[in-house]
Amino acid sequence: MSAQQLVLRQRAELVQALCCGGTAEPLDSVLDLLLSWSAFEWEDYLNVCCGTAKTLCSRSRELLDLAYSKGDDACCHLLTAFHQVLPDAQKDTLNFGSTYTAQKSQEGEISATLTLLGDRPGLVTKLRNSVDEALDELVQKGFLTSSECEDIQLPVHTASQQVRRLLDIVKFKGEGAAKVLLQFLQKSQIEAVPQPTNEKLIIPTSVAEYQKKLCSSISAQSHFLSTYSPTGRFSLDDVYTEGLLELGQQGCGNTTLVSVTLEDVVGATGTVNVEADTVLVSGEAGSGKSTFLQRLHQLWARKTVLQNYLLLFPFSCRKLNTEHRELSVKDLLFLHCCWPDGDQEELFQFLLDHPHTVLFTFDGLDEFKQAFADDQRHCSPTQSAKVPVLLFNLLQGSLMKGVRKLVTSRTEAVSFTLRPYLCKEVLLKGFSPDGIDCFVKKHHSDPGVASRVLQSLQSNTALLGLCHIPVFCWIVSKCYKELLGFSSTGPQTITDVYLMVLQHFFHRRISSGKTSGKSWLQEHFRTIMALGKLALQGLEHSHYIFSESDVQNLGITEEDIGKGFLIQNKNISLDTKHYEFLHLTLQCFFSALFITLDPSNNMHSIIPRLFQTPSSSMGCLGICHPRKCDQPGNEPPNHEITSMFVSGLLSPCHHSLLLQCCPIQTLQRKCKQVMKCLSKGMHNHFKSIPQPIKGEKKSMHAMPAFIWLIKCIYEMQDSELAKSVMAKLEAEHLKLTYCNIGPLECTALAFVLQHLKGPVGLQLDSNSVGDVGVEQLLPCLHVCRSLYLRHNNITDEGISKLVEKGVECEAFQKIALFNNKLTDACAQHFAYLLKTKQNFASLRLGNNNITAAGAEQLAEGLRCSPSLRFLGLWGNTVGDAGAEAIAHALEDSQTLEWLSLVDNRVGDAGAQALARVVEKSSTLKELWLNNNSITRCGVEYLLQALERNSTVTALWLTGNILSQEEVEELSIRESRVTF
């Protein structure tokens, strides 16, 4: 019988089923489901719901009639909805036919409004206990009025009905309101995500024994760092230094970077996709991803962290590259991680039954030979498949759903295809300044040596900038003797640092004291070239692990290996030896040496390929160049590092060294080639800048390749090249937001940008510039008309240096420092800036920690500024005293146009003082005072002042202490005020 017939035949029973309880809840729940499945249009829903005078029975009949008139499909949906909503006892007597299975919505962008509709039944349950909070949020964000709230909260409505009314109103308010509600839900949901608990879990003996074995194997594997020989004196415990971990961009305009701990990385914090199991830890090469994972493994094995995970399976993507067999997940786990001595079946069944107690980690997805793809489904944990298929299905969650997967990768290598399967992204940003300090002290047990190393870093800020990346910090610490031996500048570029480590390794091994009269490069030329060839061949085929025969075929001897650049990888096979470079960056460096020093023509053809810029259509975030299996030389992250080294080696600074082993013609030709590639790359970049819209500045948004090209130019240390490249840039504004810019990149940027033809706006918001980065930027401050450094971990110390230089830079007129780590101590510097620089126009210091004391200091400068037009202090705590000080200082300003003291605990006294600014000013256009504690009394001062002011166009006062009646009354009096 068709669904339509079933509805008709059972009409009376169905109506009865909906009405017998006397509440509208079953009917409303059925409607929720029909809406979410798109079986009913919004109009249908309103038809059934509208008219409060209708009885429950008449609404139920209308529902049935409507479904019937819509046809068989709608009736099938209706019966399914009844089946889901009615209690079992009521279902016995009804025939539901074959019920409809809800499909998961198609992938791709769907609007927030549609998401709310699709999730409606679930939302009713989820929001039931937090309607008031949700309403508050919507009111605060300006999407609901208080009378709409009161209407929703009428006590005649049940909590579920209140949610439904809320959802209905939000739908009509549109996308903005829907987004706010979704964000609210996400926040509250994340807070409520239950942590898997192992209480009451009965652990079979086979699992307990396996856990023990796994722990001891992981413990042994994680004891030493691979960059320190196992016989060395350092264990991971000795040298591990916490790196900076930050949650990735949350989308939806949330730009706050949140720091997280090691445990948070795996936990619920920062979850953006609750359906996904995979957490990504991303960072650049050498930022400490593998070491972080190693620490996590070690602490888990010691039962110090993540004890809700009974079993942890560590994988290395490098090693997975060497697995060519077809395997099942079960085989993969046992063969690659730890072989079970007990009952395999029972153990594996336990994993399947308790996925939430299991953690898989995959180190170095960027080194996996094949780029992530989601086109091949494989769901069976016991059926065999190729390793890439297994890995990709694990990450997607189609295999072993519920098991937490933690994967590390270089940021540039994360594909857009993978992103939808990520539960969250955590960025590993290397060491903080304190981290560098701590690392150096751990590395040198002699405090005297440690402090000399740190001193020499302080005097070479370019090198200090590099040390934020742990692998460079390690090299610098390792080569401390060479470092302390430098009389003047010391290493400046990454290439300098790697040349230093090369010499260090070679010298360390020269014990005989024999000197042949040759330079170190000549003496070790054969070894360097053999290792270089191995490195390059590896990169071209995504090989990071080399067999003994790979090594021998290139004439690499035991003695060469003994130099220490290659280390043995003991995890591949017990029978034969396998080697890898000490770190990927070292493999890239040896490749670069080979490319630079090998005289054959092949190397000339490699250079243009190496410097090929990716399509300029790609955005700065989530950059990806699709990798294809076995496609040689198609790995941008490796390309980028290698080409940087090639640029560095071809720098005029190193010509005399290289000429010892390379004919001058070859060197010159390659040098020319690289310079041409860099110029062309930058030029292409500039050409892609769109023409400005009329009235706007010509603005350049950085494409992924921009920072890389800048870094290559810096490595070359060729100011003439920088000058000639910059001569072609026409933009007036450079936007480099979210580009992963740390101190190292700042050094390179300043080296190049200082040659700009005229002043620009430099926008570096949401990067990791920090105080060291600020210092590195100073050489280009004279070409910055405005400098945007929002969200950049900058403290008062950085500001002190910035201002010291800033006062000397005529063009420098605007600075934005929203959301940094500034305190009252920064105010004296800004006061000095305002007093000294008589053309300074804009100071934005929102969301820092400035109190009344800071405001009072700042006022000293404000009073003397003949030019300040914009002052932003949103989200500080200056209070009444601070507002009064600022107001008094600005009373006679002839230039102030815009002032914000939003969210600053300003009360009536502050308002009264600010009213005098309004009254006296003939330039002020906007005054922002939302979210303060101003009452009617304070508002009166402001309104009276407005009566005598004709320049102000907007005064913002929402979120102050006013009743609804007061708002209504005051709104009529002055149209320029928004309450």
- Footprint of ligand ADP (CB under 6 A): 225, 227, 239-241, 243, 283, 285-291, 439, 470-471, 474, 583-584
Residue 241 vs 819, nearer CB to ligand ADP: 241
State in angstroms the smallest separation of the CB of 237 from ligand ADP.
11
State in angstroms the smallest separation of the CB of 772 from ligand ADP.
18
Residue 436 vs 592, nearer CB to ligand ADP: 436
User: How many Å apart are CA 354 and CA 400, to the nearest integer?
Assistant: 10
Residue 472 vs 594, nearer CB to ligand ADP: 472
Helix axes 447-458, 433-443, angle to 10 degrees: 140
User: How many Å apart are CA 644 and CA 588, to the nearest integer?
Assistant: 9
> Within the chain, what is the greatest distance between any pair of CA atoms?
106
Residue 235 vs 842, nearer CB to ligand ADP: 235
Residue 225 vs 787, nearer CB to ligand ADP: 225
Residue 431 vs 874, nearer CB to ligand ADP: 431
Q: Kindly report the length of the chain.
A: 979
State in angstroms the smallest separation of the CB of 544 from ligand ADP.
11
User: How many Å apart are CA 439 and CA 474, to the nearest integer?
Assistant: 8
Residue 436 vs 595, nearer CB to ligand ADP: 436
State in angstroms the smallest separation of the CB of 906 from ligand ADP.
44
Both structure tokens of 530: 């053999």
Within 10 angstroms of residue 108's Cβ, the number of other Cβ atoms is: 6
State in angstroms the smallest separation of the CB of 583 from ligand ADP.
5
State in angstroms the smallest separation of the CB of 362 from ligand ADP.
12
- Give the single-character DSSP code of 367: G
Residue 243 vs 910, nearer CB to ligand ADP: 243
In terms of Cα–Cα distance, which of 467, 474, 364 is closest to 410?
364
Which helix or strand (DSSP H or E) is residue 278 part of?
A: strand 278-283
Q: Could you tell me the strand order of the sheet in which 578-581 lies? A: 546-547, 578-581, 566-568
Both structure tokens of 71: 């046809």
User: How many Å apart are CA 97 and CA 78, to the nearest integer?
Assistant: 11
Residue 539 vs 606, nearer CB to ligand ADP: 539
430 touches 117 (CB < 8 A): no
Q: Could you tell me the strand order of the sheet in which 842-844 lies? A: 699-701, 733-735, 760-763, 784-788, 814-816, 842-844, 870-872, 898-900, 926-928, 954-956, 977-978
State in angstroms the smallest separation of the CB of 524 from ligand ADP.
23
Residue 239 vs 970, nearer CB to ligand ADP: 239
User: How many Å apart are CA 99 and CA 248, to the nearest integer?
Assistant: 42
In terms of Cα–Cα distance, which of 681, 616, 619 is closest to 644?
681
Residue 119 vs 238, nearer CB to ligand ADP: 238
Residue 239 vs 885, nearer CB to ligand ADP: 239
HSE, side-chain direction, 13 A CA sphere, residue 959: 18
Which helix or strand (DSSP H or E) is residue 506 part of?
A: helix 494-509
Residue 226 vs 895, nearer CB to ligand ADP: 226
State in angstroms the smallest separation of the CB of 882 from ligand ADP.
41
Residue 277 vs 284, nearer CB to ligand ADP: 284
State in angstroms the smallest separation of the CB of 731 from ligand ADP.
33
State in angstroms the smallest separation of the CB of 441 from ligand ADP.
12
Residue 8 vs 438, nearer CB to ligand ADP: 438
3-state secondary structure of 602: helix
Residue 318 vs 533, nearer CB to ligand ADP: 318
Residue 44 vs 496, nearer CB to ligand ADP: 496
Please report the DSSP string for 46-68 in residue order.
HHHH--TTS-HHHHHHHHHHHHH
Both structure tokens of 304: 């110090």
Helices and strands counted in the chain (H then E): 47, 20
State in angstroms the smallest separation of the CB of 755 from ligand ADP.
32
State in angstroms the smallest separation of the CB of 189 from ligand ADP.
32
* Chain CA centroid to CA 882, Å: 35
Residue 317 vs 827, nearer CB to ligand ADP: 317
State in angstroms the smallest separation of the CB of 288 from ligand ADP.
3
780 touches 808 (CB < 8 A): no
Cα distances (angstroms) measured from residue 425 to each of 283, 316, 704, 828: 10, 19, 19, 38
User: How many Å apart are CA 407 and CA 313, to the nearest integer?
Assistant: 12
State in angstroms the smallest separation of the CB of 729 from ligand ADP.
33
Ranked by CB distance to ligand ADP, the top (closest) residue is 288
Within 10 angstroms of residue 442's Cβ, the number of other Cβ atoms is: 16
User: How many Å apart are CA 406 and CA 379, to the nearest integer?
Assistant: 19
Which helix or strand (DSSP H or E) is residue 817 part of?
A: none
State in angstroms the smallest separation of the CB of 443 from ligand ADP.
8
Q: 3-state secondary structure string, 190-230?
A: HHHCCCCCCCCCCCCHHHHHHHHHHHHHHHHHCCCCCCCCC
Beta bridge partners of 899: 871, 927
State in angstroms the smallest separation of the CB of 739 from ligand ADP.
18
State in angstroms the smallest separation of the CB of 413 from ligand ADP.
12
State in angstroms the smallest separation of the CB of 478 from ligand ADP.
9
Q: 3-state secondary structure string, 636-689?
A: HHHHHHHHHHHHHHCCHHHHHHHCCCCCHHHHHHHHHHHHHHHHHHHHHHHHCC
User: How many Å apart are CA 650 and CA 646, to the nearest integer?
Assistant: 6
